[in-house]
């Protein structure tokens, strides 16, 4: 009903919060398409360290129509509900206050070595202005642009080495954004690190480059092999029907972002959390 929808509109977002919220949004897989699925969103919101029952209520309020995903408005609502709950309030729209401090997430504390939403918008605009080919900018195109910073040549060399994470001699949009951020910090007198801070490593690069968090399983994994058919039974006796397996394969592919055929505990946790089962059962 219209009145219910009107009552669910929270106070306007304080302008000072927008860069942080936008930065969180752009870190999530699918945000470029305007939709973040339940698995990705649940994994992010769990970093608030709120109780699972509270997070379930936050999800219901942020996705009131039950779409199964969050658009930007829904995600921002979830962030504001997290902030309210971290202040000791119950998860309810009327508890969202303009004066609430911003939400806190483990591992996402503010750092100068991170790119906020406004910066990313500017960097993306510059990236497109340089006319990438197949989503990549060659060193020949990037070098003159970096030279306009008037930074020393050796500093620009360090920036390139830190930004070209896959060592292909070109920069994609994520790598270009990192280069721009590093150049900006260097202009302000910051000493460039020897290795790229994890807060600047795009999610699209972390798994591919083996830069996943220590808790993730990244090595010594035995590839899965098909289970042998039990003696006396045919494969058609398997309790998982082809239709069900196809559905579960879709779930698996949704969290197997690097297509290795395996998923880590951290990757699977978000999917199981979305089931709303009690933690003891999970």
Quick: pLDDT tens for 240-257: 566 666 677 777 777 766
Give the pLDDT confidence of 57-115 residue by residue, as tens digits: 999 999 999 999 999 899 999 999 999 999 999 999 988 877 778 888 887 665 677 88
pLDDT at position 127 over 50: yes
Which pLDDT value is given to residue 190?
Answer: 84
- Give the list of residues 6+ apart from residue 197 with CB closer than 8 angstroms, or none: 111, 113
Average pLDDT over residues 176-183: 95
CA distance 249 to 228: 19
Predicted pLDDT of residue 259: 60
pLDDT at 181 over 80: yes
Mean pLDDT of the chain: 77
23-32, 34-43, 53-62: lowest mean pLDDT where?
Answer: 23-32
Q: What is the mean pLDDT of residues 151-166?
A: 92
Selection from 1-15, 168-182, 259-273 with the highest mean pLDDT: 168-182
Predicted TM-score (pTM) of this structure: 0.43
- pLDDT tens for each residue of 207-246: 666 554 433 322 232 333 332 323 343 434 444 566 666 6
Specify the range with the lowest mean pLDDT, choosing from 5-14, 78-87, 143-152: 5-14
Residue 137 sits at φ, ψ, to 5 deg, of -110, 130
Q: In whole angstroms, give the CA distance from residue 282 to residue 273.
A: 8
For residues 269 and 282, give the distance between their C-alpha atoms in angstroms, rounded to a whole number: 9
Considering only residues 142 and 249, tell me which one the structure prediction assigns the higher pLDDT: 142
- Contact between 43 and 77 under an 8 Å Cβ cutoff? The reply is no
């Amino acid at each position: 009903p219209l009145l219910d929808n009107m009552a669910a509109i929270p106070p306007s977002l304080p302008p000072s919060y927008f860069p942080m919220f936008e930065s969180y949004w752009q870190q999530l897989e699918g945000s470029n398409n305007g939709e973040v699925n339940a698995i990705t969103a649940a994994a992010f919101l769990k970093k608030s360290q709120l109780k699972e029952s509270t997070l379930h209520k936050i999800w219901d309020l942020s996705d009131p129509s039950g779409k199964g995903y969050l658009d930007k408005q829904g995600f921002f609502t979830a962030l504001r509900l997290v902030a309210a709950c971290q202040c000791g309030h119950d998860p309810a729209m009327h508890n969202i206050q303009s004066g609430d401090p911003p939400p806190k997430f483990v591992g996402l504390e503010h750092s100068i070595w991170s790119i906020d939403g406004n910066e990313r918008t500017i960097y993306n605009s510059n990236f497109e202005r340089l006319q990438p080919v197949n989503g990549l900018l060659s060193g020949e195109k990037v070098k003159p642009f970096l030279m306009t910073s008037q930074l020393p040549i050796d500093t620009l060399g360090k920036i390139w080495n830190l930004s070209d994470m896959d060592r292909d001699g070109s920069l994609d949009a994520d790598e270009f954004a990192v280069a721009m951020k590093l150049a900006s910090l260097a202009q302000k007198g910051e000493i460039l690190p020897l290795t790229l801070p994890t807060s600047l490593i795009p999610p699209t690069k972390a798994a591919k480059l083996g830069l996943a968090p220590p808790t993730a399983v990244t090595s010594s994994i035995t590839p899965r092999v098909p289970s042998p058919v039990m003696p006396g039974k045919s494969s058609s006796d398997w309790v998982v029907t082809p239709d069900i397996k196809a559905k579960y394969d879709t779930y698996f592919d949704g969290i197997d972002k690097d297509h290795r055929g395996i998923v880590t505990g951290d990757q699977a946790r978000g999917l199981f959390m979305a089931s709303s089962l009690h933690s003891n059962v999970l």
